[in-house]
Structures are given as C-alpha cells and as structure tokens.
Structure 1
Amino acid sequence: MTMKNTVVLISLGGTIASLPDSSGRAVAGALSGKELMDTLKIESDGQVEVITLFQKPSNALTTSDLLQLRTLCLEQAERPEVAGLVVSQGTDTLEDTAYFLDTTLALTDTALVVTGAQRVPYAPGSDAGPNLRDAIKVAGSTEARGAGTVVVFNEEIHSAASVRKVSSYQLNGFASPGVGPLGFVDGDEVRLNHRLQRSSTIVPGEQLPRVDILPVAIDASPALLEASVASGTQGLVLDAIGRGHIPPSWIEPLGNAISRGIPVVVASSTHWGRIAEVYEYPGSLAEQVSLGALKANHLNARKARLRLMCALSGNTPIEQSIFA
C-alpha cells in the first residue's frame, strides 16, 4: 500500500512570493514556488513537491487560470502518494480561488489548502513563512482530508464557503464572520473542531461565462443593471442590502432581464446572515423571488457569482437547488 506522505505546493504568485523593485514597492509573484520555499527556508516532516503554475498578483488571475488550476489539482490528487495540496497566492482574491476549488472538486481523500500572506516575505514580522508552514502541515494531516477546500491563515483553519478577507493589511486578514474557524494550527498540532455542510459539487465546462455583480446602495440607479444586460452578461448577482433588498426602481429592469432568460441571484452585502423573504414591499426579496430570482442564501456575492458561472458553464440546471 502506498503511503500518503507527499504534499504538493502549487504556487500562483501574490504577496507571499514578492520581491522589491527599484522603487521599493513590492512586485507580487516575482518568486517562483521553489524560490519561495528556499527564501522562507520551509522545512517539513514529509516530502514537499513544488509546481509554479503562475507568477501573478492575484488581481491578474482569470477564470481560465482557475480552470487550469482545477485540472492540475485533479491530476495531483489522483497520485496515491499525495496526501494534500497547497495553493499559495495573493490575498485579494484568495477567497475566490478557495471557493471555486471547493465548488468544483469533491476530493474525499486529499486535503486542499489555500494560503497567502499579508506582508511580503522580506518584511519584518512577515506572515509568509508561518502561513506556508502551517498550510503544508494541514495539507499533510489526516484531519483535513475530506473537509473540502480550507484556508489556512494566521494559525486558523477556515472553510472556503465562509471565509472572508476582513483586513487589507493586518496579519489576521481572514475570518469567517458568524461562523468562526473550523480549527487551529498550534505548533505541531492540527485540530479541526468541526466541519461545515458543503454544497453539492458542480463540474464546470471548458469556459466560464460572464456574470456581473451589481452593488446596491440608497437610490442606486437601475442604469447599471440595464447596461449589464444590454452589453451581454449571461448572469447577474445582486449584492443587495440587508435580507436581500434592492431599490424599487430596479424591479422593472430586473423582471425584463429574467424574462430574457438571464438568471439572477440575490446575495446580501452584510458580513453575516442568510437572506430571507420576511418583508413585503416594492424591492423586497419576496418580490424579486416572485419574478424568478434565486437566493444565494449564505453566500456572499463573489462566491455566488462563481457558483453561478460554474453552473452556467456545465450541464447543471439553473435553479434554487444549486444554492442549497
């Protein structure tokens, strides 16, 4: 029987892999995965293999990149000696990558961890080394197998479905509002205290379609919604207020979009709490649902967008059940 004793690090770039340029500013992704491991002097009890897939700041990652990453993860997870995978990248879109992988991969016997850093590796007090060491430790543990994609950051383990970037620069940059971490890394100990119920896996197609997120605010104009539809979006996610509400002036163009076959998903812009049809007035969630809008329930807009894109790209019916 082959022992699962190998962790594969897939490096995408980001702050964690930065070097300074002549201006003193950081060049995200300047280090390859091997250079990153060597710079941080990462040691592990088990074998660690390194693959440099990209060397990008995370704002430059594309949906095509995500599909390529998914394929690589599948290939590596099929190797019997691989206990877990670590994806390192920039923090700006880290939660997006983690949730995309959680949505599209049903790995039952391979851990999948995403991590990054808030401070460049050459800065005093950088979290690059500690986060990467902890991520490799979690990926090599039996506790993380079958837990879905997790984010390891600042000695905490978070579910991809609930994790959010909560600070632009502090070391405790990620949290799971209202839920809390799944577990912790304490020295050599990896502890998962609980697991969240995962949504069903969606197998994406070869290309993810365009889906737009529309932010809601007081008296926001419906012109943005109309322009999105007119310019060819294949889906809409409304980053609504409160329990899922929009300005009354949005209802007519929303109904027009739905009647044209464009799926619309409603999420809440709050940090925590499910949307719900508890009010009855113009622009309420109840009115939107009556027109055919879908509820993102517990997902924020960015994650709901990814899930809708995956469903649209494959053979998954676009109905409420995909957001259960």
Structure 2
Amino acid sequence: MSGKVVICTTGGTIAMRLDPERGVVPAVSGPELIAAVPPLKDVCPVEVREFANIPSPHMTPKIMLALALEVEKALAEPDVLGVVVTHGTDTMEETACLLDLYIDSAKPVCLVGAMRSAAEISPDGPKNILCAVRCAASPEARGMGVLVVMNEEIHAAREVTKTHSANPKTFASPFWGPLGYVDEDRVIFRRAPLGQRKIRPAAIVEDVHLVKLPAGADDFLIHCLVDKGVKGIVIEGSGRGNVHESAMPGIKRAVDAGIAVVLVSRCPGGRVLDVYGYAGSAKRQQEIGVILGGEISGQKARIILILALGVTSDRERLAGYFDVP
C-alpha cells in the first residue's frame, strides 16, 4: 500500500500501566503502543506523533481544538492516507464530535482507545489499534467523516456514545448501529453517516455549561450560571425536551441576559420538538428564545455551542448548527 498512516497519541487507558501504589496511570509512550501491535507492518507504514499523554477526563475543548489543528496538518501531507488518534474512552465521543465539526478533509480520521489497560488480562488496545489503522488506510473510509473504531466496529462521530463504564463493547450508536466493521482482511461499510455542518472558529468560547433538569428540578443552577456570566447553557430536559415549570423563570432570565440557551433531550434517540403546549414544554421554551437542539446528546450539543459561539452570537445562525442536517 502506497502511503502511511499517522498515529497521534493523546493518552487514555490504552497508554496506561498499573502502578502498585497509585493504581492505573499514564505510562506507555507512543512508540511502545505501536511496538505492542506487530501485525501493523502487514497493513501499511505508520508514523507515531505524540501529542499528549493525559487521561481523557483531563481533555478540554481547547486541547481538542489544538488536536484538530495537529490532525489537519498531518492530513495535508501528500503521503498520509489517514490519521489514527489514540484517546481515552471517557470523553472520546466529545473529541470525535469536535474533530468531525472542525476538520475539513476527505481522508479518514479514526479515534481509538481501550477499556482494559496493558496490565490487565486480555487488553483490547492492540487489536483496536490494528483495526483503526486498517480503517484509516482504507479507501472505503474516505469521505466518511471522523470515525470511532472500537471492538472491530466503526461508528460515526455524531452518533456514537459510551454506554457502559467497563465492558469492552461499550461504544454504540443507539437506534442507528455502526457504519460498518473491520474484518481480518478488509474494512466493510454498510451505510454512510449524515454529514455535520462544519464550524471553524478562529477561537472557541469554553464558558458553556450542561445542566440536567430531572423530575422536579427548578432553576437554581441556571440562576447560578447567569450570575457567573457564562456565554452558553445546554439544558437537558426529558422526552421532547420538557422541564418542570419552576425552571422557566431562570431559563427566561438566561435568554434575556443574552446567553445562548440550547435545549436537548436526555433520551438517547429522537428530537426535541415543540409538540406540547404546557408550561415548561419545548414549545414554551422556544417561544422565549431557547434554541431546540435536534437529536444531539447534551455533551455533544455543548461541543457544538462552544465552536459555534466562536463564529456567531446570532440566535438564528446558532440554531442552524443544531437540528438534523
């Protein structure tokens, strides 16, 4: 195969070992990761570029954007077929979402991680890396957007989520399923993803917060955020995006203060929609200036808003980034 795959390492469980005194901690370098996967030599040449070595809960939108720029730089090289990003699984879906929104290239970008460290019985990291490199080198993966390759499955950045805290088969795309899978000899796609609208700000606005409003929750947390002067709030309601009526005064105060407020549902599938007319419904929220967030999850809606606020503060333009493409 002509060309190479760049492996950009960021840390995570895939790059950790057991320390008897501290527990599982970052300890494996990029070259060590690749040395643990001898079959890579039969796929294509690889080049390791160490970006970071941090647990994924320490990943921030600012670091994600710096990573996106690093990946774009690699993709621009003529001999690079694609890029694999090794990443911790806890926040992998958020980084995948940001990369998918920002990077504008047909070349494959595949995020990969591990649920078991190298110190555990049957670590899944080496096989996951092999599958991700095979996918990144595959012509079939071109134009598919940013992908998450785990447990031999290929998922779209917009759809994928971590569903289990420990099981290696944790990544899933609820209601839609994987785009395809990596077999021993080839990469097989069964469908194409919906494209995401690209958002390319010169700088990002990180002061955006996710607020979950379960049964009976009022507007206390929203008032706290307004008092702090935040730039954006994502509200996670129930069902079609509905909240308790006691949350409405705080939501209205946030909108009136010029804060971008986006509404999503805690359900893993389906859109928020203005179908109910009672106090606290998505319809009533939309009437006071809340943006309906479509079918995206709360954590990914936050990433979209962080990027979008770096481009515009106009409510109508912001709304255009959210609903189903």
Tell me the TM-score normalised to structure 2 length.
Answer: 0.95
Q: Structure 2: which 5+ residue stretches go unaligned?
A: none
Structure 2 equivalent of residue 13 of structure 1: 11
Q: Measure the CA separation in 2 of the matches of 1:15 and 1:214.
A: 28
- Inter-partner Cα distance in structure 1 for 2:118 and 2:74: 27
3-state SS of 1:239 partner: strand
Task: Determine if the alignment matches structure 1 residue 256 to structure 2 residue 253.
Answer: yes
Rounded to whole Å, the distance in 1 between the matches of 2:293 and 2:60 is 23
Counterpart position of 1:141: 138
Aligned to 1:322: 321
Q: Does 1:89 align with 2:82?
A: no
Shift of 1:155: 0.8
- Secondary structure of the structure 1 residue equivalent to 2:210: strand
Compute the displacement of 1:23 (Å). Answer: 2.7
- 1:207: Cα distance to partner? 3.5
Q: How does 1:110-121 map to 2 (within 5 A)?
A: 110-121=107-118
Query: Does residue 155 of structure 1 match 2:162?
Result: no
Return the match for 1:302 from 299, 303, 310.
299
Matched, 1:197 2:194: yes
Structure 2 distance, partners of 1:206, 1:322, is 17
Gaps of at least 5 residues in structure 1 are: none
Contact preservation (8 Å) 1:217, 1:241? yes
The DSSP-based 3-state class of the residue aligned with 2:263 is strand
Structure 1 runs (4+) greater than 3 angstroms displaced? 39-42, 315-318
Instruction: Name the amino acid aligned to 1:35.
Output: E
- 1:311 touches 1:318 (CA, 8 Å); kept in 2? no
Q: Structure 1 length normalisation: TM-score?
A: 0.95
AA matched with 2:240: R
Matched, 1:312 2:319: no
Taking a change above 3 Å as real, the CA distance of residues 135 and 317 of structure 1, as seen in their structure-2 partners, is farther
Structure 1 position 61, deviation (Å):
1.2
**1:316 shift after superposition:** 7.3
* Percent of residue pairs identical: 34
Per-residue CA deviation, residues 137-196 of structure 1 (Å, 9 max, x unaligned), is: 000000111110010011110000000000100010100001100001111220111112
- Whole-Å separation in 2 of the counterparts to 1:291 and 1:188: 55
Query: How far 1:315 moved relative to its partner?
Result: 4.3
Q: Does 1:221 align with 2:256?
A: no
Per-residue Cα deviation, 1:95-122 (whole angstroms, up to 9, x for no partner): 01000100111212x1000010000123
Distance 2:313 2:284 in 1: 25
The aligned counterpart of 1:211 is: 208
> Corresponding residue for 1:51?
49
| Residues 261 and 291, structure 2, Cα contact 8 Å, conserved in 1 | yes
Please give the root-mean-square deviation of Cα atoms over the aligned residues, in Å. 1.4
